[in-house]
Structure 1
Amino acid sequence: MNQWTGYWGKIRNEPGKPFAWLPLAQHCLDVAAVFQTLTALPAFRARLQTAAGQPLDDAQLQRLAVIALLHDVGKANLGFQDKAFDPKAPRAGHIRELAPLLFEERLSEAFDTALQLDTLQSWFASEEALCDFLFASWSHHGAPIKLDPSEQTGNYYPAKTRWWSAAGGRDPMAAIAELLQTARLAFPAAFNDGGKPIPNAAALQHRFAGLVMLADWLGSHQGFFPLDRSSDGEITRQVAQRALLAVGLDAAPAQAYLAQHPAAFQQRFGYAPRPLQAAIDRLAADDPQARLLIAEAETGSGKTEAALARFFHLFAAGQVDSLYFALPTRVAARELYRRVLSYLEQAFPDPQQRPVAVLAVPRYARVDGAEVQSLLPDERVLHHDDPNQHRHARQWAAEHPKRFLAATVAVGTIDQALLSAVQTKHAQMRSVCLDRSLLVVDEVHASDAYMRRLLRGLLAHHVGQMGGHALLLSATLGAAARTELLQAGGCAVAALPDHAGACAAPYPTYTDLGGVALPVEPATKDSGKTVVFQLRAWLAQPDKLLPELAEALRAGARVLVVLNTVARAVALQRAAEQHPAIVKDWLFRCGSTVCPHHGRFSPSDRELLDQAVSDRWGKNTPVGPALLIGTQTLEQSLDIDADWLITDLCPADVLLQRVGRLHRHGRERPAGFAVPRCTVLTPDCAGLEALLDAKGEALGEAKQSGLGSVYEDLRTLELTRLLLIEQPVVEIPQDNRRLVEGATHPQRLASLQGERWAKHGEKMDGGVLAKELAAHYAAALYDKPFGDCAFNDIEKNAQARTRLGLDTLRIPLAAAVPGPFGIELAEILIPGHLAPKNTAEATAEVLRQDGENIDLRYGGQRYRYSRYGLEKLDEPAD
């Protein structure tokens, strides 16, 4: 170690592998070259200039590239350099170890000289601006850093006294000076005298930080930038350009191909456009009012194809460089991904021209339809001339969830997009990747105040501030939610109509930033359906339906049961299996195993369950009696066609989503089921006010059924119930507006009379305010300079993690065992509300496995995994 005099930026010094290293200056140049290449791409440059509030010339961009080059200046400290050679050396880092260079006078003077501070300072309007951009660069690990002179803990003392001082023939300040010399050679225009100062805009600092994070991740990819090499700046830039093309960040070839091969809607999708599709397809790519569109139409109207047509239009025109299609669930994302792949194949027949397409769902990730894991070699670092480099490079965005949004085309869940707008690591990187995208959000609802606030924040940033493009899709969106979302995107004229006006709004329709709902014709004249609703006061005893359900099955009906909680679904499943009049062959099964369908199955089993649903309940599937019992996992995206729907009481917009499973496909119906039937299970009381205590809180019995828990606002549930009593025969989609507005409009919510309703309303309004504040607390602080910005990381925000579904624990088993559906069970998912207090254990212990049940212990709590999914056992572990 004493003979080592170089400064490494990347190194391989492991037993059994050849020693290799990359000089610190070369690694920093790699990252700076990637950064410069990114800023040359039209979409990234346009968003940078929007954030800056003015055009940025080449000299300013080169100066930003120099600040990006300095992202790893902290690696010059000797503590960091020595740890690669001495396993007993202190675990020195390279970020917080920078603090003494700022706060210790002797070191600060040496650092200013080596850094050529006077030169760098002249590029900015103030000393604070340079500091903010340096902090943004040093935050490349994902979270904004904040170095405070009062916090001299950890490695501060050894960094202050030893690591930044010359020793053993090595001088850290000389290494820093070498970085500046490298920068002068690579970015000469940056060092020319004069020029416009870089704007000190907080938004620009955050765009810059996101691009540095992205550049550092790609510039560290040894398939493109291998160790044991040196090259000049021009060669490094050429490699960076090839890397951006290979991973799909540079979409210019695909855009040019699409522009050179224009096609009408019918050529793209194989059928004549329906009215909504034609209306959206006609919109000009450069229409500023169309940067945010909200499309509302019935199921089957082709909203997905309308969104893809819009993307192809914008993509060919260079208005966007990518697409992120956000859906509410992983199941929905997987289903849609298959369709998107087929349309991409039609639009780009040559695979070499086809954009990278990623299924952006953790643990289910796909690239161009293939599993990511199946493409990866045992050693991920590829040599630069590996013949499989192209194939491996295309999966770069799919190898880590934080890179999903870097794909040219990605289909995933809404949480991946929302994570760009909340305080979590790499939010800025996610955000700059999303900047260049058409953001499509499918199945938008207004029932969750917290998620609505996060979506508003995302749209305010993506559309309102950055000038991006977004398209929201909904079966029916309440006027209050529509108004909020339009205002978030920058619509200045949208105002909430009264209840009558909201009900009178056209449907189907699309609304742009002008705020006016523009009517379109229904998809087809006979696209609607008449649904007969029947309310049964059996919410507490759903098994009372079993005799009638058995008769329906005997008549050959497909019966779908959607309940609000997993516990209710499992209980009814067990009761159905034990009922003497229900033949076992009528029950849903996965393979040969009878089971319900819900979200508490392992990822591998869930894929089998979803496929089994499609195989038995999808289009052109066998006729005959069938019973499927599940939860909200069945209400959207899975291709289900039922003759009779049984559902727990839920808000009107959710109910319409569930009813979309009724008579979905054209087929002959059993006797008695020619008209779609929906039975709604309600409480056994004259009104839901009886389920409230004197403080307006839902009683425990109601919460066990999802009333006041899964669906917190009992006012929307009561209004839905009253609407169905008043008019049990519903015409869909003609009555969609009436139902949704009747259950969600503020005037209707205020119409419920009674002291307990008043208390409940106050509680709900207070809860909405609390959620607004919690969402604001979690939202990314893109309006604050980096020197003042410290994330309250979402990892520590329990409510944010829960609402985004990030509180679920994914726990590997200590030993894999055969699962209930014939494949190996290697891990379990534990929802946050079932998780034990102690979650420090790395694995779950298998206590017993008898072929039917797998008993587990994790964190002192016992669980059982079976064909019914994961259940928490009452008795604690010994």
Structure 2
Amino acid sequence: MAGLARLGSGLSVAARQVWAKHDRDEDDWLPLWRHLADSGAVAGLLWDEWLPAQVRDVIAAALPGGLKDARRLVVWSAATHDIGKATPAFACQVELLAEGMRKVGLEMPLRGQMDDRRLAPHGLAGMVLLHEWLMERYGWRKRSAWQWAVVAGGHHGVPPSPSDISELAARPRLLRSPGSAGAWREVQWELLDACAAACGVDERLPQWREVKLPQPVQALLTGVVIVADWIASNADLFPYARKAGDSSERERVEAAWRGLALPSPWQPAAPNVDPAELFASRFDLPLGARIRPLQERAVQVADGMAPGLMIIEGPMGEGKTEAALAVAEIFASRSGAGGVFVALPTMATSNAMFSRVLRWLLRLPDARTDAGARSVQLAHSKAALNEDFRALTWADLRATRGVQPDEDSSDGATAELVAHQWLRGRKKGMLASFGVGTIDQLLFMGLKSRHLALRHLALAGKVVIIDEAHAYDAYMNSYLDLVLSWLGAYGVPVVVLSATLPSGRRRELVEAYSGTCDADAVGDATGYPLITSAVRDGASAVHEVPASGRRTEVQVEPLDDDLELLADRLDRELAAGGCALVVRNTVDRVLQTAAYLRERLGEGNVSVAHARFLDLDRMRKDADLVERFGPPEAGGQRPDGPCVVVASQVAEQSLDIDFDLLVSDLCPVDLLLQRMGRLHRHQRGAGQSERPERLRQARCLVTGADWGAVPVEPVAGSQRVYQRSVLLRTAAVLWPHLTGATPAERSVRLPEDISPLVQSAYGPAPVGPPSWQQEMDAAHARYRVHIEKQRTKAESFRLAAVGRDGSALLGWIEAGVGEADDTPAGRAQVRDGVESLEVLVVQRLADGTVRTVPWLDGGKGGRALPTDAVPESQLGRIVAACGLRLPFQFTIPQIADQAIAELEEEVIPAWQFKDSSWLAGELILFLDENCRTRLAGYDLTYHRDDGLEATRVE
């Protein structure tokens, strides 16, 4: 910092007159040299106090001088990032400041005389100037120079493309005005020479000339420069000349850094790798519980390998999450990771995991005795509605002016965990040390979107945990494989969790991360539970794990898809009480089934659970399910009488619920096994003696298909959700059990049969009766075409693979999605499809009164909402928590367009002001007194207990 503090002292009058920033309100300005010095100083502090060692090591590995060279490079990259502002194309924007520059010999046209100045944005201009300077001053070759100069080019989020460079090359007057080109060059070179000397790179650049800067290093440098620039551009932290006072440059930077108060990264201490002691100190184990074999073996494997990729496959309820967190701690202590990110399939699973991770964090030690607060982020679009997350984000009267319009300006502080004010918002949230979020947040690392380098920087410093890996389709997996290859290139340790994976998918994950794979060992492994380990460009291995002793035999049988037949069977099975779970593949089938069963079994004995509820109602539903059907130690009130829950796929994951009997639509075998994991999940008395006698044997009735057809014919709704080929192969591998003559033949043994069933269903060998094969072959051919279409479609906005030749990141995200990463459009890109249309639901009464829906708990229901003003923050938050995803019909383009048009006609103008942060830009669905409305040709009816039902208007 000492050299940068003196950067302006030796400059010419002309160089000191070049401006970087202008405050129109205060009529104040900031000289370019000062902003460059500020940015470089901030970059140095980021390197010293904020960047995890894992990131620093990646940059250092590319340079001959290691960490010392790497720090110099980071500071110099930040100190030169805005050199493109020393050009006529930029300087002409403010006439008063431009005239000051003309007076010292830097001539330039008026702004109106430079219509093509948009072709020289200052990032591109700076990249070109740096490139010229490296070649002219230090004799660098053209190709090598681009690898280093591209960092300046990409500091506003989009690295320039070769066509951008060509357009600018044809207009040299945008860089240096004719008539004073010499003066411009002298000032540009003077500033660059001064930065090189101040940063200590003037003597290193000749040695760096032959260095190939790998693409991961270019991306990390760009990310650090973006962060440094954003901090140094904050006028509250770095005031302009008039407000700067008499403080020295060093005092100016130190005061800004204290005011920012960024939490330092986690520095994990090497944990005690005695597995039992480690788990006892980190997790709330039930009284008398012992560490499970899968958990113990995961810790042992992690302790014996270099940080890399670990895939943990094990049955439901084996504690894979706790194993992953323990492994993450071991990996981080060796790799220098400064945090952990956990990725899950949905917001609901993310919210549930967030609470668990917070409890773990409070017990997690740090190598530093003076470790301060840890920054934490819940990364999904509705994080602000999560109570645990909000508890970390206390409102603060301080407000620091940022440079990004989407950032939240409140501050947060608790004794140990904080959602830091500066690290919140759509672009910066992932920079927090610890995060839990939807898988989208990880997949965005492979989406060509603006400021992508920030997301790479954020994830390159962490251990990444990917949960429920079996839940992602081929489209999402194409993004995931690409992301894994980048994570491997950064040396990021990754832990993948799954109930079980097809052997081919396991091999793909290893190959994506490591670049190589022992195909025989990894692909042919049949043990279960199973741990697979791999390192970048190194060996992979598999480790079979003994089962924990927890096992369940589930007798399966087919049940024709007939509601009367289902009702008769449930009536008989639940005659002495008991709890049954009926899982349907579509919400429409859930509602139809529940309505029929209520008529037969009684209104109070049947409830539903699916995703088509208001957010608050969905949370209430989930809590109710865990309260009634959770583990015995939770102390919930399990129903005594007959009870049926009809649910969609929301019952497959995240909820620790336990039923006596399961009825499931035919679905992919790995998901069916997940559903079976909700059957006799916990021990209830010796030999399950606390369950009704008839239900002490676990049974699963498989329905949703015509079992008499050849081959079996799944119902139409299921084929809309899942591929026909996958459903047929599931039926085929289950056929020996479904048609078994004895209880033993009908039994699926958990966990022993999990892996064989999955490998057979997804493997290449023929399965099922011979009479099925012709139709199954045709369905599989259609499935292969579908998979290829998915992969091809994913390529549209997917990032290129990691370049291994040191080529520059020119055009890195060209033809990308712009700002649409964490938005509905962005999520649709990584999830193969149009995002479900989401609305906020309120009631509008006949007299025009608008209110929150009346049944909400805690005084939230029936609250009047103003229509001539922005609702106060508390009311706005209640409305925002009543989000609802409309049914799949509203993803059909013409219906979605019509619905949006109709909803926009109902917009309340007063709610659209920017200071209405909860409601601005949202679509509002108004229900009448009976909770009904009509939208885009559908009658919509909402019930607090059943959710939304949509009926096409004839």
Question: Which band: TM-score by shorter chain?
Answer: 0.7 to 0.9
- State the match for 1:549 in structure 2: 570
**Residues 370, 468 of structure 1: CA spacing in aligned structure 2 closer, same or farther, 3 A cutoff?**
closer
Equivalent in 741, 759, 772 of residue 759 of structure 2: 741
Distance 1:517 1:649 in 2: 32
- Indicate which of 61, 64, 77 corresponds to 1:67: 77
Residues 1:7 and 1:518: Cα distance change in structure 2 (over 3 Å): same
Matched, 1:763 2:823: no
Contact 2:135 2:142 in 1 (8 A): no
How far does the alpha carbon of each residue in 1:104-159 deviate from its partner, in whole angstroms, 9 at most, with x for none? Answer: xxxx9xx8998694357656842244345434433233333326369979xx99x9
Q: Does 1:45 align with 2:66?
A: no
Q: Is the counterpart of residue 476 in structure 1 residue 554 in structure 2?
A: no
Q: Show the counterpart of 2:43.
A: 35
Tell whether the 8 Å contact from 1:532 to 1:730 is kept in structure 2 after alignment.
Answer: yes
- How much has 1:387 moved relative to structure 2? 13
1:696 corresponds in structure 2 to: none
Question: Secondary structure, in 3 states, of the residue corresponding to 2:298?
Answer: helix
Aligned pairs for 1:90-489 within 5 A: 96-98=118-120, 117-119=132-134, 122=137, 125-146=140-161, 148=163, 180=192, 183-184=195-196, 186-190=198-202, 194-197=206-209, 198-220=211-233, 224-225=237-238, 228-229=243-244, 234-235=250-251, 238=254, 246-248=261-263, 250-252=265-267, 255=268, 264-269=278-283, 271=285, 272-283=290-301, 285=303, 287-288=305-306, 291-317=308-334, 319-348=336-365, 353=372, 355-365=374-384, 369-371=388-390, 375-377=394-396, 380-381=399-400, 394-396=419-421, 399-445=424-470, 448-463=473-488, 465-489=489-513
What do the CA deviations read for 1:448-493 (whole angstroms, capped 9, x no partner)? 2222222222222212x22221111122222111122122222745
CA 1:656–1:128 in 2, change beyond 3 Å: closer, same or farther? same
Query: Which residue of 1 is the match for residue 816 of structure 2?
Result: 793
Which residue does 1:597 correspond to in 2? Answer: 609
Alignment CA distance shift 1:78-1:813 (3 Å): farther
Q: Is the 8 A contact 1:427 1:780 kept in 2?
A: no
Question: Matched residues in 1 for 2:484 and 2:128: separation?
Answer: 44
Tell me which moved more, 59-68 or 256-265: 256-265
Aligned: 1:617 with 2:629: yes
Amino acid of the residue matched to residue 779 of structure 1? R
1:648, CA displacement in angstroms? 0.8
Shift of 1:653: 0.7
Identify which of 651, 663, 676 aligns with 1:634: 651
Q: Identify unmatched segments of 5+ residues in structure 1.
A: 103-107, 589-595, 692-700
Count of residue correspondences: 820
In structure 2, give the amino acid aligned to 1:818. T
Alpha-carbon distance in 1 for matches of 2:280, 2:116: 56
Aligned counterpart, 2:907: none
Deviation at 1:432, TM superposition (A): 2.2
Judge which range, 225-234 or 37-46, deviates more: 225-234
Any idea what the Cα deviations from partners look like across 1:810-830, whole Å, max 9, x if unmatched? 445798642364245445434
Aligned mates of 2:248, 2:584 — CA distance in 1: 64
Given that 1:405 and 1:434 are in contact with CA atoms closer than 8 Å, whether structure 2 keeps it comes out as yes
Change (3 A) 1:394 1:748: same
Indicate conservation of the 8 Å contact 2:377/2:430, yes or no.
no
3-state secondary structure, aligned to 2:469: coil
Tell me whether 234-243 or 675-684 shows the greater mean CA deviation: 234-243
Question: For the Cα contact (< 8 Å) 1:25–1:182, is it kept in 2?
Answer: no
Question: Please, which moves more after superposition, 386-395 or 514-523?
Answer: 386-395
Task: Select the residue among 550, 554, 558 that pairs with 1:535.
Answer: 558
Match of 2:929 in 1: 850
Q: What is the RMSD of the two structures over their aligned residues, measured on CA atoms?
A: 4.6
Quick one: which amino acid aligns to residue 809 of structure 2?
F
Distance of aligned partners of 1:857 and 1:47 in 2 relative to their CA distance in 1, 3 Å threshold: farther
- Distance in 2 between residues matched to 1:483 and 1:296, nearest whole Å: 13
Q: Please say if residues 723 and 783 of structure 2, whose CA atoms lie closer than 8 Å, have aligned partners that are also in contact.
A: no
Instruction: Provide closer, same or farther for how the CA distance between residues 846 and 459 of structure 1 changes in structure 2, counting only shifts above 3 A.
Output: closer
Offset, 1:361: 2.5
* 1:237 to partner: Cα distance: 6.1
CA shift, 1:792, in A, is 3.6
Give 3-state SS (helix, strand or coil) of 1:375's partner: coil
Give the TM-score normalised by structure 2: 0.75
Which runs of structure 2 are paired with 1:591-740 in the superposition (5 Å)?
Answer: 596-619=608-631, 620-624=635-639, 625-667=642-684, 668-687=690-709, 689=711, 691=713, 702-706=715-719, 709=722, 713-726=726-739, 727-740=745-758
Q: Supply the distance in 1 between the matched residues of 2:45 and 2:303 (Cα, whole angstroms).
A: 26
Q: TM-score, normalised by structure 1?
A: 0.80
Residues 1:733 and 1:81: Cα distance change in structure 2 (over 3 Å) = farther
Residue 270 of structure 1: how far off its partner (Å): 5.1
Query: Percent of pairs identical after alignment?
Result: 24
Q: Which residue of 2 aligns with 1:694?
A: none
**CA distance in 2 between partners of 1:124 and 1:440 (Å):** 45
Q: Which amino acid aligns with 1:33?
A: A
CA contact (8 A) 1:275 1:521 kept: yes
In structure 2, what is the Cα distance between the partners aligned to 1:292 and 1:744? 23
Question: 1:112–1:424: structure 2 CA closer, same or farther, 3 Å change rule?
Answer: closer
Deviations 1:380-402 (A, max 9, x none): 4279xx99786697424762243
Please report how far the alpha carbon of residue 9 of structure 1 lies from its aligned counterpart in structure 2 after TM superposition: 5.0
Q: Distance in 2 between matches of 1:301 and 1:546?
A: 34
Q: Does the residue aligned with 1:555 lie in a helix, a strand or coil?
A: coil
The 3-state SS of whatever aligns with 2:708 is: coil
Asked whether the 8 Å contact 1:324–1:439 carries over to 2, the reply is yes
Partners of 1:143 and 1:93 lie apart in 2 by 22
Q: After the TM superposition, which of the residue ranges 609-618 and 488-497 deviates more from structure 2? A: 488-497
